[in-house]
Structure 1
Amino acid sequence: MGKELLIKFAIVGCGRIAKRHSELLGLSQIKGATLAAVCDIAEERAREFGERFGVPYYRSIDEMLQNTEVDVVSILTPSGMHAEHVITAAKYKRHIVVEKPMALTLADAEAMIKACDENNIRLFVVKQNRFNVPVVKAREALDAGRFGKLVLGTVRVRWCRDQSYYDQDNWRGTWQYDGGVLANQASHHIDMLTWFMGDVESVHARAATALVDIEAEDTAVATLKFRNGALGIIEATAATRPKDIEGSISILGAGGSVEIAGFAVNKIRTWQFGDHDLGDEQVMEKYSVNPPNVYGFGHQAYYEHVVDCLVNDTKALVDGHEGRQSLELISALYESIASNQEVKLPLEVKHSKLGRSSQ
């Protein structure tokens, strides 16, 4: 793929998150990328997106990929459908971007990785919060060893998703296609926690469905033990009322502490280290951003990363294997909730309902 070429993306799934993806690709906000086609089984949705961005629209992935020249397919359908759609697109030997979580079962995640490997294509899993400006800065501090021995990592997701949100589509909040706050809203934060703290040894989680009528949970808490001896806490709820409060991460180590808060992990609230570094005073002001919504600005940096990986044949920050690792932790949380037991990793799923039909 030559450096002068425009990489053509197609979008599968024209729901809520597709607005963000389509505007970035369709309004020339990503250098070297363009939107070439859209697809959704609901023709009105597909037509609306197609007409807005002046691209062909389809109801079938097969029809779209047989009739449109695209380099990358972005799969933005319900989580429980990701595997089916990724495997279909992989047969056409197109690179794939898939929204979080990459799947709801480890078997599906492994089938997706296998299909992409067999067709010699790249699989990119969307974890845009890793590209948030303050998160990147904190990761630089981690890589430089400034935290020293890690002690405690916590994430908090305090967002508002009321009944009208779940009523938009019949798959929302279901075990088979979506899961609850852990699999959906908090999956980015859970991924970030392990990105900073390392591999997880065991988890113990509890959950409740507090304020909405759905199959899965809207509120959950968990404690984690990491293999390096550090501990972790996950607090996640979509039952914050009347509006979002925060999406945050805290990393505490022997050498220093960082807390990144805001409603989209966008604002450095604490930045303190024992070994003073030039520029520490400016970090809180310089590396905090004020995004328009909980999606933040990370999707733009994420797509720029995908384009760079394809043009220069470089390694993806979050490929299928990295996405699977994040999913294994989410699956362990659900296994712990279902069994009311501490669950060790690697995981053997016995009780979790995630990704399974409720029938």
Structure 2
Amino acid sequence: MERLKIAILGCGRISDKHIEALADNNLEARLVAVCDILPERMDNAIKYYNKLIKEKEYIEFQSIKKYMDYKEMLEKNDVDAVIITTESGFHGKHSIDCLKLGKHVLVEKPMALSITDADEMIKISKEKKVKLGVCYQNRFSPPILKLKEAIENERFGQLINGTTRILWNRDKDYYLKAPWRKDWKLGGGALINQCIHHIDLLQWMMNSKVGNLFAQTDTFFSNMQAEDFAAIIIRFKNGTIGIVEGNLCVYPKNLEETLSIFGEKGTVVMGGSRINMIKVWKFEKGEEYEEENLEKQFLNYNKIYAHSHSLLYKDFIDAIKENREPMVNGEEGKKSLEIVLGAYLSQLLGEKIDFPVKEVDIHNLLRCRYEM
């Protein structure tokens, strides 16, 4: 099969990670088009991609077309798949439009801002027989996969709870560079913009659907509309409890991001700047020096963030060529979105929310917030 023809819709800050991942998978796919409302962003994206490709001497140079209108790009360019890295508030619409035209879609998190749009994306992808993937690259991190393997092998015995803490600093400059990040209705906010990656990992490890949750959120910076602090307690249907703490107000810089899993026969704490280090690895039936050996194994894995994107891309490309579901398909991507929207609803109503949460989106929640 020929290399897949890929287009990138949205050439902002996060697109660099996707360009790197695409270049790493250049034997299987190539960039043929980019789209953005700012020409200089497209120029920078093309320049960066060609630089990376040039470093891989066995790949020939490819011309890449530029479009300011993504619908024109889809009509005039024969692309197989579209990578959507626009602002969060447009993920649902852009994905739906691409899927309707029979294009495979890999969309940045969150996949949408409403359950309705997420369901529509899943439905259309099945009707059009195209692949829908969601960019939760941390699932492909080797230390995270090692933890998932331990859970599946029942090394923890009975699972008790999981906790994720995101203790970061996001100063005024961060929001000035991209004002949508502080706009709730466009997908700004600690939970849906930052913590959703960690929420995805937490629910993935718990191996259960959500039963109910209770949340508290607040905005401590006066120039913010969206929340910069959030706490959630989740009761999963298998009886386990999940705890989420998301704090973007940590002084003076990022402190940590951790994922901890506790069971009757085991405790694991993942940490580091990208959840890329094993801090604690204790099991009742563990090999001698197992913790020390794993710590050394992953100690120098400093490029886990970019490398995980590349592994996610490989899985997505293989899913297209093998006609199977991506590891993080639409159904998987929807799970963390439901938790976030449920948390917003809990904060708005001041009560516990039972799952599943249906027909909830940020725009309706925003209207309700101002009407109360």
Q: Same fold (TM over 0.5)?
A: yes
Give how far 1:353 is off.
5.3
Match of 2:138? 129
CA deviations on 1:8-63 (whole Å, 9 max, x unpaired) are 211101111111112332x4455412221110122332233234435211111121
Partners of 1:308 and 1:289 in 2: how far apart? 28
Match of 1:179 among 188, 192, 195: 188
- C-alpha displacement of 1:272: 0.7
TM alignment of 1:60-75, pairs within 5 A: 60-75=69-84
SS in 2 for 1:16: coil
1:244-283 → structure 2 map (5 Å cutoff): 244-277=254-287, 280-281=290-291, 282-283=293-294
How many angstroms does 1:211 deviate by? 3.0
Which residue does the alignment assign to 1:243? Answer: 253
Partners of 2:116 and 2:360 within 8 A in 1: no
| TM-score normalised to structure 2 length | 0.89
**What secondary structure is seen at the aligned counterpart in 2 of 1:172?**
helix
Q: 1:291 aligned to 2:310?
A: no
RMSD, aligned α-carbons: 2.2
Amino acid at match of 1:143: E
- SS of 2:30's equivalent? strand
Task: Describe the shift of the 1:206–1:296 C-alpha distance in structure 2 as closer, same or farther (beyond 3 A).
Answer: farther
Q: Distance between the aligned counterparts of 1:75 and 1:220, measured in 2?
A: 27
SS of residue matched to 1:306: helix
1:236 aligned counterpart, secondary structure: strand
1:94 is the counterpart of 2:109: no
Counterpart Cα distance in 1 of 2:27 and 2:41: 26
More helix by share: 2
TM alignment of 1:3-82, pairs within 5 A: 5-25=2-22, 27-52=23-48, 53=50, 55-82=64-91
For 2:67 and 2:240, how far apart are their aligned partners in 1? Answer: 49
The Cα shift of 1:318 comes to 1.2
- Number of aligned pairs? 354
Structure 1 Cα separation of the partners of residues 26 and 72 of structure 2: 26
Letter in 1 for 2:215: A
- CA displacement 1:107-141 (0-9 Å, x = unmatched): 11112122222222110011111111110000011
Which residue in the other structure is 1:203 paired with? 213
SS across alignment from 1:182:
helix
1:352, CA displacement in angstroms?
5.9
Where in structure 1 do 4 or more consecutive aligned residues deviate above 4 Å?
A: 28-31, 348-359
- The percentage of aligned residue pairs carrying the same residue is 36
Provide Cα deviations, 1:144-187, integer angstroms capped at 9, x if missing partner.
11111111100011122111111112322212211311001110
Q: TM-score, normalised by structure 1?
A: 0.92
What SS is found at the alignment partner of 1:331?
Answer: helix
Unaligned segments of structure 1, at least 5 residues: none
Matched, 1:232 2:229: no
- In 2, are the aligned partners of 1:175 and 1:355 still within 8 Å (CA)? no
SS in 2 for 1:297: helix
In the alignment, what sits opposite 1:324? 334
Return the offset for 1:195. 0.3
SS in 2 for 1:188: helix
Residue 327 of structure 1 deviates from its aligned partner by 0.9
- 2:56 aligned residue: none
Report if the CA contact (8 A) 1:266-1:296 is conserved.
no
Aligned-pair distance for 1:68?
A: 2.1
Gap change, CA 1:244 and 1:29, over 3 Å in 2: farther
